[in-house]
C-alpha cells in the first residue's frame, strides 16, 4: 500500500482528514504563500481546478511560512485572503513545514520520491508535485513553472 494513504492533513479550519479520501484521483500538490511574488499562480491553479472534474483531479494547497515569512497569515485568514485576492476555491490546508526537522510527513514522502535541483529540499514557494491515480509521484516542478504549462501532463494522467 502506498504510504500516502496513511498520511493525515489538517484543513485550514483545523479539521483533520486522511489523504486516502483522495484515493484514485490525480493530485497536484503545491506549497503556497499569499505574500510570495509567485502568488499570481493561485489564479492559474484555480483555472486548472475549474478545468477538470473533481472526481478526476484534485489540487491541494499547503501554505508554508518557511521562505522569507511569505505566509504570515493564520490558517483562517490565509484561506480568506486566497478567496478574496485570488478567487481560490480549491482545497487549502493548514500551514506546514516542507523542510527541516518539522517537515510534514506528506513532504517527507514527496521529497523522497522526487528530488529537485537542491536534492530533497524544497527550493521555494509554489514547488509542485504531480501524482497519478495510483499515487506514483510523476513529476516535481520548479516554483517558476506555471500551473497552466502542466496541463498536458495532467491530461495524460486522467
Residue 2 in this model has a pLDDT that exceeds 90: no
Pick the CATH number of 3-9+24-63+76-157 from 3.30.9.90, 3.40.30.10, 3.30.200.20, 3.40.50.2020: 3.40.30.10
Average pLDDT, the chain: 93
For residue 117, what is the enclosing H or E element? none
Give the phi and the psi of residue 137 in degrees, each rounded to 5: -80, 110
The yes-or-no verdict on residue 70 having pLDDT over 90 is: yes
pLDDT of residue 85: 86
Parse the chain into domains and list their residue ranges: 3-9+24-63+76-157
Q: Which listed residue (4, 26, 30, 36) is catalytic?
A: 36
pTM, whole model, 2 decimals?
A: 0.94
Map residue 37 onto helix, strand or coil.
coil
Q: How far is CA 143 from the centre of its chain?
A: 11
Opening angle at CA 37, ends 129 and 101, nearest 5: 50
Q: What percent of the chain has pLDDT over 90?
A: 78
Q: What are phi and psi of 117, to 5 degrees?
A: -60, -30
Model confidence at 29, pLDDT cuts 50, 70, 90, reads very high
Closest by CA position to 36, among listed 69, 6, 12? 69
The three cell numbers of residue 43 are 489564479
> pLDDT tens for residues 144-158?
999 999 999 999 999
pLDDT of residue 116: 61
CA distance 87 to 80: 9
Residue 36 annotated to the active site: yes
Tens digits of per-residue pLDDT, 92-148? Answer: 999 999 999 999 999 999 999 887 665 678 999 999 999 999 989 999 999 999 999
The pLDDT value given to residue 118: 58
Amino acid at each position: 500500500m502506498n504510504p500516502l494513504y496513511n498520511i493525515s492533513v489538517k484543513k485550514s479550519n483545523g479539521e483533520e482528514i486522511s489523504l486516502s479520501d483522495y484515493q484514485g484521483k490525480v493530485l497536484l500538490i503545491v506549497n503556497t504563500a499569499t505574500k510570495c511574488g509567485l502568488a499570481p499562480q493561485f489564479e492559474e491553479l484555480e483555472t486548472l481546478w475549474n478545468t477538470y472534474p473533481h472526481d478526476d483531479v484534485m489540487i491541494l494547497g499547503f501554505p508554508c511560512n518557511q521562505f522569507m515569512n511569505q505566509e504570515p497569515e493564520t490558517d483562517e485568514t490565509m484561506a480568506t485572503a486566497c478567496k478574496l485576492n485570488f478567487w481560490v476555491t480549491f482545497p487549502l490546508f493548514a500551514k506546514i513545514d516542507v523542510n527541516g526537522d518539522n517537515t510534514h510527513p506528506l513532504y517527507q514522502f514527496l521529497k523522497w520520491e522526487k528530488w529537485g535541483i537542491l536534492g530533497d529540499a524544497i527550493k521555494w514557494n509554489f514547488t509542485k508535485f504531480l501524482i497519478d491515480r495510483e499515487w506514483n509521484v510523476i513529476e516535481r516542478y520548479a516554483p517558476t513553472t506555471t500551473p497552466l504549462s502542466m496541463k498536458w501532463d495532467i491530461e495524460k494522467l486522467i
